[in-house]
Structure 1
Amino acid sequence: MARPATVTDEPVALSDRELVARVFRTLGEARRLSIVEMLLERGEMSQSDLFRELGIPQSRASEHLQCLVWCGFLEVERRGKRLHYRIADPRTKTLLHLAYQFLRENQAAIGSCRTLDALPD
């Protein structure tokens, strides 16, 4: 199993800039980022292990996993009755490494940005 059947290869009517913003929005939610980091660290996890680690309702965790699969960050494989997740693209590790490096160099500014807190989600 890869992406949901509703994902197509046809282009979406969004600019590249809007699509790149969606990449960051996908990782811009703390629980989704946690999922990606757990899988980078462990390689692969079952759905039930992810639910247990996240400590959030199963339905909410499923939504986050579905988003990450849909957007190409994760792959999912069914083994019997269990679903197993892993990172789909090895560049994800580099992307997060660069983000954390950027954060280390700009932590005070990012942490004190009042504009981010004021913007609607």
Structure 2
Amino acid sequence: MLKVDHDMKVKFLHGFSHKTRIQILECIKEEEKTVSQIVEDIQGNQSNISQHLACLKGCGIIVGRQEGKYVYYGLRNQQVRELLTMFDVVLEDVESDVATCENHIE
């Protein structure tokens, strides 16, 4: 059995815990995109998107690839893509419980 560092797990999961970061991840789930493309796709603010990209990159969830003057952002690997898909599968099953949960802490 794997030894779990709970603090590290929480830090990793923090990368998924903001609406903008989830939007970014969904935006780049199937293909790499530049900051400008991400900003356009999710109708966000470039500075804000850049901060969230830094968080996602810092947590090891995404990677950036330099090509000329552009950086293309994509998911780190297939496992991250599968994790995002699994979030959707599990959420579909528990969505009504999540919607009515009064114990959610912001």
Q: What TM-score comes out, normalization by structure 1 length? A: 0.77
Identity, % of aligned pairs?
22
- d(CA) in 2 for partners of 1:56, 1:111: 25
1:74 and 2:74 are equivalent in the alignment? no
SS at match of 1:114: coil
The residue aligned with 2:26 is: 37
- d(CA) in 2 for partners of 1:35, 1:26: 11
The residue aligned with 2:96 is: 108
CA drift at 1:112 = 0.8
- d(CA) in 2 for partners of 1:21, 1:114: 21
Structure 1 spans left out of the alignment, 5+ residues: 1-14
- How big is each residue's C-alpha offset from its partner over 1:65-117, in whole Å with a ceiling of 9 and x where there is no partner? 1111111111112222211111112101221222111111111111111111x
RMSD: 1.5
CA drift at 1:23 = 2.0
Q: Which amino acid aligns with 2:90?
A: F
CA drift at 1:25 = 1.7
Q: What TM-score comes out, normalization by structure 2 length? A: 0.87
The residue aligned with 1:95 is: 83
Task: Tell me which moved more, 63-72 or 18-27.
Answer: 18-27
- d(CA) in 2 for partners of 1:103, 1:18: 24
Q: Which has the higher contact order (CA 8 A, sep 6+)?
A: 1
Say which of 38, 43, 48 aligns to 1:55.
43
Structure 1 runs (4+) deviating above 2 angstroms are none
Q: Which amino acid aligns with 1:85?
A: Y
